[in-house]
Structure 1
Amino acid sequence: MSDDPVKARETSTGSIRTPRQRLRAWITPALRPWRLMLALKTAIAATAAWFLGGFIPGELGEFSYYAPLGALVSLTPTLMDSVRSSFQTLIGLGLGIGLAWALIVSPAPGWVSVALSVGLGTILAGLPGLGQGRDYVPIAALFVIIIGGANANEFSLGYLVQMALGVLVGLLVNLLIMPPLFVRESAAGITAARARMVDALRTMSTTLSSETEPAPDDPPPWEGSVTSLRHDIDAARGLVRDAAESRRANPRTRWNKHDFRGDQGALEALERIAPAVVELGDALRAALWGIPVPVRLGTEVRGTLADALDAAANLVDAAIDDERLPEALETSDRTLVALRRAVRSAHVDAVNRAGPDGGSASGSADDPADDPGGENLLFALRRIYAEVESSKRTDQAE
């Protein structure tokens, strides 16, 4: 048991998080600026819908308490999602009300109508394309039968009209009050994934350059970064998707000059580079730990490989339009040439040691898993270089 009164938890990346840090990480997503703005707009829309709902003449105005609910369901982070969910909700309400009326005019007793409204409503909710509106099919049917009762006609019309009013108010508020653009979040997600990739490559280079051999029981120092890299790229992909959705029909795109296409290109490049980084980690794990298969990596190759890994890290760290990119490409190319020569030299030495009969002192010359020169490592590094260079050419062509 630790003597420290504050118990900390170790994450998959090896960092220690205190209870306060875990609590902050749990609360922070709910306090992001765009969510606080969404909460403010929802409050404004619900209040305005309730106020306006009371001005509808006749008995329809008596159901104004449903207008705030319509505003609530129509407010989502992006405009297009708001439009989509609003229409889906109204369609779901229409289906539920129609089902309720079918049961009302049927000879079924009240308790049977309640059961059928929920059961058949749940079945209808499974229709494709209803989206968020599927939840309101059984709810609307149940409300009309139970709450509407003898006044089902007025209730059904008032329920639908007030919900539609709230939806309209919510859409207008979402359109007029700072419709969100998630381009900053998108760029931040890509930056985080890029930083994770750079950290993995530099850790590999540092491990190779170290004069101390890693202990056989220790996990590779880069394992946490490589494992988290997959999660970071998935998260960045989701953020880019959200940013693309937030731009649709958004008037703020007219004066927002963020290079969203550049974000998409950067993410696609990282997605193509990530498998090469994972392959590098697996190959180095095999070379240093013999897992999952033993791979020989001569000392004559390690130095140039460490330089190539460090150059690859600098290359990935350079943005598509970064002024450092040409120099990073040149340095990476130079280290790859040196590594290619070292790999060829290692293979020549291995062949010479094997002798004319193809045998070797270790008896592993014919083992297909035996890689005395690190060809797979060279291929993965060349793949990273090619992807970055290709991204640069594409950016210049545009």
Structure 2
Amino acid sequence: MPRVRANLREWRDGALNRSRILLAAKTAVAAAIAWAIVPLLPFVDNEYSYYAPFGVLVVMYPTVAATARTGGQTLLGLALGVALGLGALAATQFLSVPPVIPLAIVVAVAVLLGGIRHLGAGRDILSAAAVFVLLLAGQAGGDSYPLSYLVTMGVGVVVGLAVNLVFVPPLYFQWAGGRLTTLRGAIAAVLNTLADHAQNPDPPQVDAALAHLDAMLSEVRREVSEAEDSARANPRGRRHQHEGEQNAKRLRSLELAAAGTRDLAEVVAGRHPAALAALTDETTERFADAIRACAALTDTATDDPELDERLGAALRALDRYLDALPSTTVSTSTKAQRIEPAIFLRRVIDASAPFASDSPSSGSAGER
């Protein structure tokens, strides 16, 4: 039941957030305008005017840049598909071969052309356009179909781009910033889970926490990229350039923290038993304290006045853990395995250091 509620909340947040509602309104307006414009165009059969709103649906994206990019790719794919269909239709009429043969050839060639990655969204519509032209243009009264199809879809693409550009082009820097904050909290939560595991082992809980972190990191990367995309070709993008740069800097920092956290989990979850072997209760407690100090640092906002204090606290906690490590004679490989957790924790600390007012360039933990 809690899982169902979480899914419903996620669907609601995805479907009813402000950006999605704005996109729905703009798409509806663009589809209506495209539908109204097509009957006014010369050389276009009104029978196929429904392709205009379909063109809007194909290219309407939350950002202007994505709409423009998808629109160009769609028109190119349409043109290639129409040309391929007309060529096959001419060959059918000239050679008097059974229609099934040109159809098979058109489908095969269209699928091959769809492998051209630079066509982007045009790859999806190329095959359909070729088959539609071949099958419908050859019917009685279908002579106007290819031009009508291409023009009406083009109208939808152009109208979609115009509406997206004119009516409140959105910027998603604030949304991406909020998602980065959520990711920051997720990394801190995993670190706290690892600290608990160091004292009371629970491998399934560690695995679940890491799986959640991996999924969130991938999602946030995509959202930060979309936010950067929203500034391209956007009249308001230049005024918010600093927000995009700050989000990119935060993402790099959190990626480093997440990588250090994952490496630390490889040790803490027992995949390298020698790393934590022969630790006393006091040493284990100091290790857990160092992890929790890193969690508190990671969970601190970049503009929080306590960031410097928590950075120092994390470094001191790491030093205390290193001082408590057993000093008995052990093999070189065992020494390396015991020092690994400190290296990974230092990486987590270093991820936050660039945001501190007095960033430490070196420290005892990094020299050990």
Choose from 163, 170, 174 the match for 1:184. Answer: 174
Relative to 1, partners in 2 of residues 1:337 and 1:138: Cα closer, same or farther, differing over 3 Å? closer
CA deviation after TM superposition for structure 1 residue 25, in Å = 3.5
Higher relative contact order (CA 8 A, sep 6+): 2
Distance 2:332 2:229 in 1: 52
Choose from 87, 93, 97 the match for 2:82. Answer: 97
Relative to 1, partners in 2 of residues 1:112 and 1:306: Cα closer, same or farther, differing over 3 Å? closer
CA deviation after TM superposition for structure 1 residue 74, in Å = 1.9
2:168 maps to amino acid = M
1:114 maps to amino acid = L
Q: Which residue of 2 aligns with 1:376?
A: 340
Q: Which residue of 2 aligns with 1:244?
A: 228
Relative to 1, partners in 2 of residues 1:330 and 1:120: Cα closer, same or farther, differing over 3 Å? closer
Q: Is the aligned partner of 1:214 residue 2:200?
A: yes
Relative to 1, partners in 2 of residues 1:119 and 1:316: Cα closer, same or farther, differing over 3 Å? same
1:44-59 alignment, distance < 5 Å: 44-59=29-44
Q: Which 10-residue stretch deviates more, 158-167 or 184-193?
A: 184-193
Distance 1:121 1:284 in 2: 52
Distance 1:159 1:371 in 2: 68
1:164 maps to amino acid = G
Q: Which residue of 2 aligns with 1:160?
A: 150
Distance 2:256 2:206 in 1: 19
Q: Which residue of 2 aligns with 1:11?
A: none
Q: Which residue of 1 aligns with 2:266?
A: 282
Choose from 344, 352, 357 the match for 1:388. Answer: 352
Q: Which residue of 2 aligns with 1:304?
A: 286
- CA displacement 1:274-296 (0-9 Å, x = unmatched): 2322233333333xx98587622
Relative to 1, partners in 2 of residues 1:295 and 1:371: Cα closer, same or farther, differing over 3 Å? farther
- CA displacement 1:46-69 (0-9 Å, x = unmatched): 111010111113554553222212
1:337 maps to amino acid = D
Partners of 2:231 and 2:238 within 8 A in 1: no
Distance 2:53 2:189 in 1: 49
Distance 2:215 2:274 in 1: 23
Relative to 1, partners in 2 of residues 1:242 and 1:292: Cα closer, same or farther, differing over 3 Å? farther
Distance 1:119 1:387 in 2: 51
Q: Which residue of 1 aligns with 2:303?
A: 321
CA deviation after TM superposition for structure 1 residue 175, in Å = 0.8
Distance 1:371 1:146 in 2: 70
Partners of 2:30 and 2:53 within 8 A in 1: yes
**TM-score w.r.t. length of structure 2:** 0.84
Q: Which runs of 5 or more residues in structure 2 are unaligned? A: 360-368
Q: Is the aligned partner of 1:226 residue 2:207?
A: no
Q: Which residue of 2 aligns with 1:76?
A: 61
CA deviation after TM superposition for structure 1 residue 320, in Å = 2.5
Q: Which residue of 2 aligns with 1:262?
A: 246
- CA displacement 1:134-173 (0-9 Å, x = unmatched): 2222222222232223445422222212211111111101
SS class of match (2:269) = helix
Distance 1:127 1:366 in 2: 55
Distance 1:167 1:137 in 2: 15
Distance 1:334 1:59 in 2: 75
CA deviation after TM superposition for structure 1 residue 328, in Å = 1.2
Q: Percent identity?
A: 32
- CA displacement 1:289-336 (0-9 Å, x = unmatched): 985876221233233323322221221122233211111122223223
Partners of 1:93 and 1:140 within 8 A in 2: yes
Q: Which residue of 1 aligns with 2:131?
A: 142
Relative to 1, partners in 2 of residues 1:185 and 1:394: Cα closer, same or farther, differing over 3 Å? farther
Q: Is the aligned partner of 1:116 residue 2:108?
A: no
Distance 2:152 2:79 in 1: 13
CA RMSD, 1 decimal: 3.0
Distance 1:276 1:263 in 2: 20
Distance 1:330 1:244 in 2: 33
Relative to 1, partners in 2 of residues 1:382 and 1:206: Cα closer, same or farther, differing over 3 Å? same
Partners of 1:220 and 1:285 within 8 A in 2: no
Distance 2:318 2:285 in 1: 12
Distance 1:228 1:87 in 2: 37
SS class of match (2:61) = coil
Q: Is the aligned partner of 1:129 residue 2:118?
A: yes
Distance 1:140 1:175 in 2: 27
Partners of 1:54 and 1:62 within 8 A in 2: no
Structure with bigger gyration radius: 1
Distance 1:223 1:247 in 2: 37
Distance 1:369 1:19 in 2: 46
Q: Which 10-residue stretch deviates more, 38-47 or 291-300?
A: 291-300
